[in-house]
Structure 1
């Protein structure tokens, strides 16, 4: 009986070894034996690691990441996202497309600059004696965000394929808002001077704070696919983004961006 137990234990160990070798062949993490991925300034630490004089290998080089985002933008304001009533029906949103460039500062924090264009259709809405006319919002957001990875605390875990993150940053948004008049024409909405940075070429430029979260799934060493939800909130409040300013106290309007992202690591080859 004892010999059977030892035989089973040896079989389990052999299976674990085979599984480990199989995973190594498809490992999309950093190969610590590849010295070409070590920055020149970190070679001393790398040599100490190889000679068992330091417990961890140095941080490897990291590539710039170029991203393309496609999704939906909403104005969260004075009407529901979806309306169905006698005044009309529609969807208070529209397509958004963006480009981004990201660079890691360390294991956890990275910086990402991006430009996102959105074209939002705003339906009319009525409830009781309240009627809000339809309109549109076309905006270009230039953002600089810090991304904080939530699952990289185990820096050198094997075969990492998923990255959960939260983000915070700032945006300068140039927006053009139009409201439909009784004769059917769309006219520009004038923003109060104290709610904009400046106005030029029918665009109102607004400072905004960015907050959001997302997840990225590694497809290969070069490509990853992500999902992200981001909110851009006017720094000093603004109730004009949906073309309707509500009388009295109001929390103001802000943007919501829901997107799918495809990201490419520049200078990295697929295995």
Structure 2
């Protein structure tokens, strides 16, 4: 099993994470192998999109792909606005929650084949999802493949100049014994670190801002592409409540 699939498997079967999403509350933490704990905001993730979220969604362009959509508050809000949107997440519990909200969602890793690659107008990496895979450069490269030429990435960053790689596991208490077997690679980036990675690849920074104690950056792809990946008809779509897309939609062939 490669690193990406190992990370997917570890996160997807993390019982404390599934239990927290199903109950809508924590406590829940990411724990590094050295014991350091990062509290996870389960209650906010399971609530409706707040004013900070709504302001981010106002910036979205075209069809929106929410990577690591979690319980689906952003996907549901965009769908309610009549936007073409898809959430992707590796967690069965997250997908089930997003489905109950009426958001179109797919249980899949961002590194696996996805519908509409090369045609999405906006990709969202919210709630720490810049950490997915533990390799920001690889994640940025993958997101660039998913976006249309000149497409927009909106990423939530750590409110500090942090550029960290670690192996972590999901735990529900501060006293649970270290397991190790379920640890997976993760990363934490502040805006300065994200911009440093962006300048080394195919990205053009366009905005950065703070709101409600949270930090964000917007980037655009530099490189044009002549074709898009064909949709994968074997994908397991976990919600059929998808509005009929236009011919321009990256998901028009679902």
The TM-score bracket by the shorter chain reads under 0.3
TM-score by length of 2: 0.23
| Structure with max Cα Rg | 1
Q: TM-score, normalised by structure 1?
A: 0.22
Greater share of helix:
2
Indicate the structure whose relative CO is greater, using CA pairs within 8 Å and at least 6 residues apart.
2
